[in-house]
Amino acid sequence: MIESLAVTAASESWAVSAQTLATELSLPYLGVVSAVAVDDYPQLLEVGETLKLCTTGRKAPGPVWVDFVGGAASHRRKFGGGKGQQIAKAIGIRSGSYPRVVDATAGLGRDAFVLASLGCEVLMLERNPVVRALLDDGLRRLREAAEADPELAPIAARLSLDESRLPAAEWLRQQPPESIPVVYLDPMFPQREKSAKVKKEMVAFHRLVGADEDADGLLDPAYAACYYRTVVKRPRLAPFLAGRKPSLSLEGKSGRFDIYTRHGMSRHGPSRNESPANQ
């Protein structure tokens, strides 16, 4: 399936799990081997306590994995600005209003986790099978951590990964019209790999995933399925998705949120389990 990628195990105790994942993803399994020692494949999936996407070679950047518990996710959850963040404003989060969100281009799940930490139920869609595996592993570790951390427990309960494995456009077309409060889109935009703003490990991730060349095709099914709005995250100077001007945009230093409004949000908004279409 992906000739540039193989699976390894961090130790012999993870060998069976690694072989199983390799079979599921139709990837070769190389055994217990360090990424530094591999020359035949530019990237590896290393199965261990954490599932990691590793670039091979002696001068390779660090690995990429999904971390909903520590690191940047923890810092943003505690000190990120809460409902004052641009993404919260774009989605429509305010006191008493926490709309359900479908993140149709979840990637590493960072924005989805922020929205779940702010109070929204978030369903993540991700078509790339390798990225799905990283997300699934991140969710597993989040749920394990939530068993001992009462602050993480409600967030873990609000964050989920769609199991249908359908491409986002197809999944959205199958939803009843106006049945999803908010659809969130953050399609991969071509990155300038020499830019200082792009971390080396994320360059490797972008190489794996590639740009979403069919991203324009997401806007129509997303807008048809949403009830309140479709929100599109873009680089600040990027063209509008599908060339369509949004109802409004919230612009930051390096990015912006384009908002395509269908219905205005009620003052208090629906409950997390209520479908606006059935109000």
Q: How far apart are CA 203 and CA 219, in angstroms?
A: 26
Q: Is 220 annotated as a binding residue?
A: no
Q: Is 126 annotated as a binding residue?
A: yes
**DSSP-assigned states of every residue in the chain:** --TTEEEEESSGGGHHHHHHHHHHHT--EEEE--GGG--S-SEEEEESSS-EEEE-STTPPPPB---SSSHHHHHHHHHS-GGGSHHHHHHT-BTTB---EEETT-TTSHHHHHHHHHT--EEE----HHHHHHHHHHHHHHHHHHTT-TTTHHHHHHEEE-SS---HHHHHHTSPTT-EEEEEE-------TT-TTS-HHHHHHHHHH---TTGGGGHHHHHHHEEEEEEEEEETTSPPGGGPPPSEEEE-SSEEEEEEESSPPPSS---TT--GGG-
Q: Is 100 annotated as a binding residue?
A: no
Q: Is 110 annotated as a binding residue?
A: yes
Q: Is 127 annotated as a binding residue?
A: yes
Q: Which residues, other chains included, contact 100 with Cβ-Cβ below 8 Å and sequence gap of 6+?
A: 120, 121, 122, 123, 180, 181, 182, 270, 272
Binding residues for S-adenosyl-L-methionine are 110-111, 126-127, 186
Binding residues are 110-111, 126-127, 186
